[in-house]
């Protein structure tokens, strides 16, 4: 999902607006390697600290202490994370992008603190993960908008293709908000799904503190917010029939069904299905970037 988001953001979405790119293919490959290494490190450190709860919540997907030792997992974590961080810092430095250096460092530190301390606290961990996801789009957008001239950072005047009447910045905001809200909703649902294992390790997640059904209602209200934002966005697509049809069939209707199923959800199986359904919505939301390249 991370790789797909990066490729579509640059080559399908941004390149549909920008006539020329100052961020080369090689630079993008290095950026992709950096982000994927840091992401992999985040998954590893998360699994290291989640061994106890994962044995209960998802025993079939627990690998540490089964297929690899915890010591080996730490070696993988350090190699993956610091390799990705080093590549990201060098790339940002060469492009005179100090803001992006801060994003890389924040993400690495944030993933560690999240896994060790914040993940099992009320909402804060969910919000932090959602922030990591939206930073992917912001990171690529930052690199694409900078032109280097005599060692100075100069914001490039974006040359928009004449065929487009979409506002680039507003469209980016829509994808950022969509990424944040869908991830936050799914994170809350996953906490509801994993409540039994989280209780065992004395976690203080939202469903443990306020109850499974109340947490589900919060996820429902956030989904309603996403639903109304989607309605507003669709209003601006009346003259773009491809975008409108895609949005209604693959995002609007599935989200409406998601709301219905979330309202009546009771069992762990129900919430597992909802987690997969939200992943489906996230996937087709990001995939909609392709429409900009073919419209």
Residue pLDDT, tens place only, 149-200: 333 333 333 344 443 456 778 889 999 999 999 999 999 999 999 888 777 7
Looking at residue 61, what is its pLDDT? 64
Q: Which is more confidently placed, 158 or 96? A: 96
Looking at residue 179, what is its pLDDT? 95
**Rounded to an integer, what distance in angstroms lies between the CA atom of residue 278 and that of residue 185?**
8
- Coil vs helix vs strand at 146: strand
| CATH number attached to the domain at 1-155 | 1.10.357.140
Mean pLDDT for the chain overall: 86
Residue pLDDT, tens place only, 273-293: 999 999 999 999 999 999 988
For 148, list phi and psi in degrees, rounded to 5: -100, 125
Q: Which of 11-15, 134-138, 220-224 has the lowest mean pLDDT?
A: 11-15
**Rounded to an integer, what distance in angstroms lies between the CA atom of residue 231 and that of residue 23?**
34
Looking at residue 194, what is its pLDDT? 84
Question: Of 27-31, 113-117, 155-159, where does the model show the most confidence?
Answer: 27-31
Torsion of CA 285, 168, 223, 180, to 10 degrees: 90
Question: In CATH, what is the architecture of 164-295?
Answer: Up-down Bundle (1.20)
- Coil vs helix vs strand at 289: coil
Q: Which of 61-70, 228-237, 246-255 has the lowest mean pLDDT?
A: 61-70
Looking at residue 158, what is its pLDDT? 39
Residue spans in the chain of domains classed CATH 1.20.120: 164-295
Whats the size of the chain, residue-wise? 295
Looking at residue 275, what is its pLDDT? 95
Residue spans in the chain of domains classed CATH 1.10.357.140: 1-155
Residue pLDDT, tens place only, 241-270: 899 999 999 999 999 999 999 999 999 899
Write the DSSP string, 184-228.
HHHHHHHHHHTHHHHHHTT---HHHHH-HHHHHHHHHHHHHHHHH
Looking at residue 160, what is its pLDDT? 43
For 154, list phi and psi in degrees, rounded to 5: -125, 125
> Which pTM value belongs to this model?
0.85
Torsion of CA 251, 214, 212, 273, to 10 degrees: -10
């Amino acid at each position: 999902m991370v790789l797909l988001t990066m490729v579509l953001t640059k080559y399908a979405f941004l390149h549909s607006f920008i006539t020329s790119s100052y961020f080369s293919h090689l630079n993008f490959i290095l950026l992709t390697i950096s982000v994927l290494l840091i992401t992999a490190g985040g998954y590893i450190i998360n699994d290291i600290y989640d061994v106890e709860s994962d044995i209960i919540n998802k025993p079939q997907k627990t690998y540490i202490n089964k297929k690899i030792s915890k010591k080996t997992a730490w070696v993988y974590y350090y190699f993956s994370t610091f390799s990705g961080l080093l590549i990201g810092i060098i790339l940002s430095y060469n492009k005179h992008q100090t803001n992006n250096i801060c994003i890389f460092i924040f993400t690495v530190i944030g993933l560690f603190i999240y896994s060790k301390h914040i993940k099992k606290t009320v909402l804060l961990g969910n919000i932090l993960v959602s922030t990591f996801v939206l930073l992917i789009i912001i990171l690529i957008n930052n690199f694409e908008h900078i032109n280097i001239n005599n060692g100075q950072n100069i914001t490039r005047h974006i040359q928009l293709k004449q065929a487009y009447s979409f506002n680039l910045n507003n469209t980016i905001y829509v994808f950022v908000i969509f990424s944040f809200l869908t991830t936050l909703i799914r994170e809350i649902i996953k906490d509801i799904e994993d409540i039994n294992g989280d209780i065992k390790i004395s976690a203080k997640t939202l469903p443990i503190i306020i109850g499974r059904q109340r947490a589900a209602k919060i996820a429902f209200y956030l989904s309603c917010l996403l639903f109304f934002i989607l309605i507003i966005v669709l209003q601006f697509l009346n003259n773009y029939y491809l975008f409108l049809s895609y949005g209604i069939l693959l995002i609007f209707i599935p989200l409406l069904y998601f709301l219905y199923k979330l309202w009546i959800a009771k069992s762990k199986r129900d919430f597992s299905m909802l987690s997969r359904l939200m992943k489906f919505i996230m996937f087709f939301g990001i995939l909609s970037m392709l429409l900009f390249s073919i419209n």
